[in-house]
Every structure is written in structure tokens, then in C-alpha cells.
């Protein structure tokens, strides 16, 4: 019986695996396993080493990413389902470094709150593993699995302060909306598979762009897939979960969600648009156009009225998602500059938003709140934090010479370069919204610098070392990206179109 079975499976061919290309994922996986094992073997004694091991794991993962970047060759496995090119490496580096900063801003918060430290870092690492896998995924199934691997740990991290009702609400809302989006996305993917008979994005593009006008099922498939990712990047009208989840989740997790998780959604969307749907621009461009324009405007207008800084950052994140979507709406006219614009925006946004959340965490150590009114007079007792927060807020608003202006400049450049009506209209939207956004960012600045501290309480904020180093890193990066924009410009000169193929 066994012999018969063996004869039947005899023709199985082991797929060639490029271990170097898979090394970043494997390294991170190894450290995640190590972290879990440490908890099993050492129990409580291992607790205090968990953040250190997690950061070592993340930094160690940078090693293969750097060697792959030095090597420079585009690598492709499984017929193009797993691709390592410049774009993938940049996004992997962004996820790893963002994850590292999240570990830095988490370590005191999590250990002082007596939350489940070891499991926290384990889940964080598995979520980051999903993200770096996403950067290489060029296949419907791999993209879906990577999306679940990055989302499911995040659902649980959002509810990590489990004795707090708001945190429970945050996790539950995020979970329900997330699985709802996943279901829609998966249905869209199944329709596309049904229409094309392939899961590889390259072949999918060939198949669906063969005819002049798309068949109804392809249109439905593309719409469902984009809706699914629009939830992930919190674009209007699929943003309703974001403010409540951001407010209730532990603040380091909020920082992680608003930066890494959103970037991963964008990476997935870019993979789909630039590799899978690029020939069907007549379907996705109007849709992305509408999402971008509405997200910017609605996000900014609601952000104006927020009294809680985390909710304000949530709505500003919705608006920022709109800016990042804008170049994707002209993806077929100027594919390379559109991709480069969104990638550089993601890089810079990651730095400045993580920094803003680091300040929020530092200030909350004293005030125990995230109300904007509690930032009054911050300058009088925490001048360093005030300067840092001002830098991040003005960078988010896009004021030179801080990082954000260059990001916005690239977006404007791409949509204007397209020289289409929709591109120019989006450019106007970006310009008008930048002005609206400046108002609510500057309002916080004014409160911090000009007002008196509430109750005249001037005890300084004690900032622990790890939080301080996160702040120094993000401030430095925000300024460097703004002063030397060529740095990001050179790195993000990527093309997805060249890297595809078997």
C-alpha cells in the first residue's frame, strides 16, 4: 500500500528555493520562535529580556535585507509569486525599522502596565513577518495570507489592555470590520481567479487586459479587491473603525496600526494595481480617484473638530491615506513616478507619525490623558517634547524644511506630471487640504507654546531611555528627509513593472 502511494507521488518535483531571497522572513521567524521558546523555558525570568530580544531580531532581519540590496539582483521564485526587488526591499526595511521604533516606544508602556509582555512581542513580530512577506507577494493567495498574518495579531494587540472596556471595543471593532473587509477582498479575488484561471498577478494582468472592455466579473472583482484594501488603509468611506480603534488600543499599538499596518495595506494595493490591474486602468482609476479625493477632504474636515489627540491623528491618518492614494489614481499615465511618490510618502509618513505617537505616549506618562487641552503649556515643563511634537506636526502638515513637504511635493509632482484632468483635480484637492490640515496641526502647536499649564502644574515629564531614543531617531530622520530630500528620492526610484516576470 505504501509502495503504491510512493509510486504515485514519485513525480513530485521539489521547487527550487532561493534561500538568500527568503532570508529576511526566515530570520524574523527564527527570532519569533526563539522569543516564544524563551517564555516557555524561563517563564517569568525571561520577561525582561523580551523587548531586547525582539529588537535584536528586528535589527538582525535588516542584515539579509542589506546584503540583498548590496547584491542588487532581482530575485523571483515560484514563477513570480515571490519577488525580491528594490521596491520589496525598501518596503521590508520600512516595516522592520517601524517595528523597531514601535518596540522602543512599547517597552516601558507594556512592562509598567503589566501586560503580557512576551506574547505582545511575539504577536508584534508575527505581524511584521506578515508585512515583509507582503512586500514580496505577487500572487493572490500569498497576498491574502500575508494580509491575514499581519492583521490577526493586530486585532488581538488592539485589545491588549483587556481590563479596559475601550480597549475591548477597539479590538472588537477592528476585528469585525477587518474580517468583513477580508471576506469582501477574498470574494473579489475568487472572481478574478474565476475570470483568469490564475493566481499569479502577472498572468492575471495579461488575462484581464486582453480585451478592450472588461467583462462584468472582472469589474466586480477589481472593485471588491480595492474595497477590501480600502478598509485596511482606512480610506473614506471605509474608515469608521479607525478613530475608535486608535483611541481604545494601547497607544504603541495605535502607532503600529497607523503606520505599519497602513503601509502594508498600501503595499498590497500597489502590488495589485501595478502588477495585477495595470492594464485595466479604466476600472480602477476612477475608483481610486474618488477614494483619494473623499478621504482627504472628509478626514481633514472631521479632524478639525477633534478634542482628543489620538482621534485627531486617526482622522489626519485618514486624510494622509487620501494623499497617498492620489498618485495611484494616475498609475497608468506615469507608473514610475506614481509608485515612487507613494513609496516616498510612506517612508516619510512612517517616521513623522511614529514620532508624533512617541510624544503622545511620553506626555501621557504624566497627564494620563490624550486630550488636546492637556497639552496646554507643555513648553513650560517639557520643552524638549514640545519642540519634537512641533517638528512632527509641521512635518505632517508639509512645511519645509521638514520631511513632510518633500513627500507632498512628490505627490503633487506625480499627479501634475500625468497631465490629465483627474490628475490636476487631485492636485487641487491635495493643495486645498494641506491648508485645512495646517489649521488643526498648528492649533496644537499654539496650545503647547502659548498657553499656561493647567493648574500651574510644572513637574517635568520623565521620559525613559528607550522612548527618548525613539524620539531622537524619528526627529533626526524627519529633519534629514526634509533637508536632504534626494536621500529618499534616490532610494525610492523604484519600478514594479521591471521586477515582475518569471
Partner 1 sequence: MIGLLAAASADMDLYVAQNIFFGIIAAQMIYAAFRVVTTANVVHAALWLVLVLSGVAVQFILLGAEFVAITQVLVYIGAVVVLFLFGVMLTRASMGADESVASEKRSMATVVGVLLFTVMAVSLIDSFEDTRLVIDEPQSTTLVSDSIFSQYIVPFEAVSVLLLAALIGAIVVARRD
Q: Which residue ranges make up the site for partner 1 (CB under 8 A)?
A: 8-9, 12-15, 17, 22, 29, 32, 36, 77-79, 81-82, 116, 119, 122-123, 126-127, 129-130, 133, 139, 141-142, 144-146, 148-149, 152-153, 156-157, 159-160, 162, 171, 195, 215-220
Q: Which is nearer to partner 1, 218 or 334 (CB)?
A: 218
Three state DSSP letters for 29-56 = HHHHHHHHHHHHHHHHHHHHHHHHHHHH
**Cβ-contact 99, 124 below 8 angstroms:** yes
What's the closest the beta carbon of residue 152 comes to partner 1, in angstroms?
Answer: 5
Nearer Cβ to partner 1 (84/347): 84
Residue among 168 and 308 whose Cβ is closer to partner 1: 168
Residue 85: CB minimum distance to partner 1, A: 16
CA distance 484 to 34: 39
- 3-class secondary structure, 75: strand
Smallest gap from residue 25 Cβ to partner 1 (A): 8
Task: Tell me the closest approach of the beta carbon of residue 401 to partner 1, in angstroms.
Answer: 41
Q: How far is the CB of 112 from partner 1 (least distance, A)?
A: 17
Q: Distance between CA atoms of 91 and 212, rounded to whole angstroms?
A: 34
Nearer of residues 21 and 412 to partner 1, judged by Cβ? 21
Contact (Cβ atoms closer than 8 angstroms) between residue 239 and residue 136: no
Grid cell for residue 332: 497608468
Is the CB of 196 or the CB of 306 nearer to partner 1? Answer: 196
| Least distance in angstroms from the C-beta of 125 to partner 1 | 9
For partner 1, which is the closer residue by CB, 118 or 478?
A: 118
What is the spatial distance between Cα 498 and Cα 43, in angstroms, rounded to a whole number?
49
The radius of gyration computed from the CA coordinates of the chain, to the nearest angstrom, equals 22
Strand ranges (DSSP E) for 79-220? Answer: 82-84
Q: Where are the alpha helices (DSSP H) in 326-462?
A: 335-367, 378-381, 383-397, 403-418, 421-450
Q: How many CB atoms lie within 10 A of CB 399?
A: 18
Least distance from partner 1 to the Cβ atom of residue 150, Å: 9
Maximum Cα interatomic distance, the chain, rounded to a whole number of Å? 84
Of 131 and 426, nearer to partner 1 (C-beta) is 131
Given CA atoms 295, 435, 310, 483 in this order, what sign does their dihedral have?
A: positive
Return the number of the residue (123 or 391) whose C-beta is nearest partner 1.
123
DSSP category for residue 21: H
- State in angstroms the smallest separation of the CB of 89 from partner 1: 17
What cell was used for 155? 486585532
Amino acid at each position: 500500500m505504501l509502495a503504491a502511494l510512493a509510486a504515485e507521488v514519485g513525480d513530485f518535483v521539489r521547487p527550487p528555493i532561493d534561500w538568500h531571497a527568503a532570508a529576511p522572513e526566515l530570520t524574523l521567524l527564527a527570532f519569533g520562535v526563539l522569543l516564544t521558546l524563551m517564555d516557555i523555558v524561563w517563564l517569568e525570568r525571561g520577561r525582561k529580556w523580551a523587548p531586547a530580544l525582539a529588537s535584536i531580531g528586528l535589527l538582525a532581519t535588516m542584515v539579509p535585507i542589506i546584503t540583498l540590496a548590496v547584491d542588487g539582483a532581482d530575485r523571483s521564485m515560484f514563477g513570480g509569486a515571490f519577488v525580491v526587488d528594490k521596491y520589496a526591499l525598501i518596503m521590508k526595511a520600512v516595516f522592520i525599522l517601524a517595528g523597531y521604533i514601535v518596540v522602543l516606544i512599547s517597552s516601558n508602556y507594556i512592562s509598567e502596565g503589566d501586560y503580557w509582555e512576551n506574547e505582545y512581542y511575539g504577536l508584534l513580530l508575527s505581524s511584521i513577518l506578515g508585512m515583509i512577506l507582503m512586500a514580496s507577494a505577487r500572487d493572490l493567495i500569498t497576498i491574502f495570507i500575508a494580509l491575514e498574518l499581519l492583521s490577526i495579531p493586530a486585532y488581538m494587540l488592539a485589545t491588549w489592555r483587556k481590563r479596559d472596556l475601550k480597549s475591548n471595543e477597539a479590538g472588537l471593532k477592528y476585528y469585525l470590520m477587518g474580517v468583513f473587509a477580508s471576506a469582501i477582498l477574498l470574494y473579489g479575488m475568487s472572481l478574478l481567479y474565476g475570470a483568469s484561471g490564475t493566481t499569479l498577478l502577472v498572468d492575471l494582468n495579461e488575462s484581464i487586459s486582453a480585451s478592450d472592455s472588461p467583462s462584468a466579473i472582472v469589474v466586480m472583482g477589481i472593485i471588491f479587491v480595492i474595497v477590501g484594501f480600502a478598509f485596511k488603509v482606512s480610506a473614506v468611506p471605509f474608515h469608521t473603525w479607525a478613530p475608535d480603534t486608535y483611541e481604545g488600543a494601547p497607544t504603541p499599538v495605535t502607532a503600529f496600526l497607523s503606520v505599519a499596518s497602513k503601509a502594508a495595506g498600501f503595499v498590497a494595493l500597489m502590488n495589485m494595481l501595478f502588477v495585477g490591474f495595470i492594464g485595466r486602468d479604466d476600472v480602477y482609476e476612477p475608483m481610486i480617484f474618488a477614494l483619494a479625493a473623499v478621504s482627504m477632504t472628509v478626514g481633514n474636515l472631521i479632524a478639525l473638530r477633534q478634542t482628543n489627540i489620538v482621534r485627531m491623528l486617526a482622522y489626519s491618518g485618514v486624510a494622509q491615506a487620501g494623499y497617498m492614494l492620489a498618485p495611484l489614481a494616475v498609475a497608468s499615465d506615469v507608473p514610475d513616478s506614481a509608485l515612487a511618490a507613494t513609496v516616498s510618502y510612506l517612508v516619510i509618513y512612517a517616521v513623522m507619525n511614529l514620532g508624533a505617537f512617541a510624544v503622545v505616549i511620553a506626555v501621557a506618562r504624566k497627564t494620563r490623558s490624550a486630550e488636546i487641552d492637556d497639552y496646554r503649556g507643555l513648553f513650560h515643563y517639557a520643552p524638549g517634547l514640545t519642540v519634537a511634537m512641533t517638528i512632527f506636526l509641521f512635518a505632517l502638515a508639509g512645511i519645509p524644511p521638514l520631511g513632510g513637504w518633500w513627500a507632498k511635493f512628490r505627490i503633487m509632482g506625480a499627479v501634475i506630471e500625468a497631465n490629465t484632468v483627474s490628475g490636476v483635480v487631485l492636485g487641487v484637492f491635495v493643495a486645498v487640504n494641506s491648508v485645512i490640515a495646517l489649521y488643526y496641526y498648528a492649533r496644537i502647536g499654539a496650545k503647547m507654546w502659548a498657553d499656561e499649564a493647567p493648574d500651574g502644574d510644572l513637574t517635568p515629564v520623565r521620559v525613559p531611555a528607550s522612548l527618548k531614543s525613539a524620539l531622537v531617531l524619528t526627529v533626526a530622520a524627519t529633519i534629514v528627509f526634509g533637508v536632504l530630500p534626494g536621500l529618499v528620492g534616490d532610494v525610492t526610484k523604484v519600478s514594479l513593472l521591471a521586477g515582475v516576470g518569471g
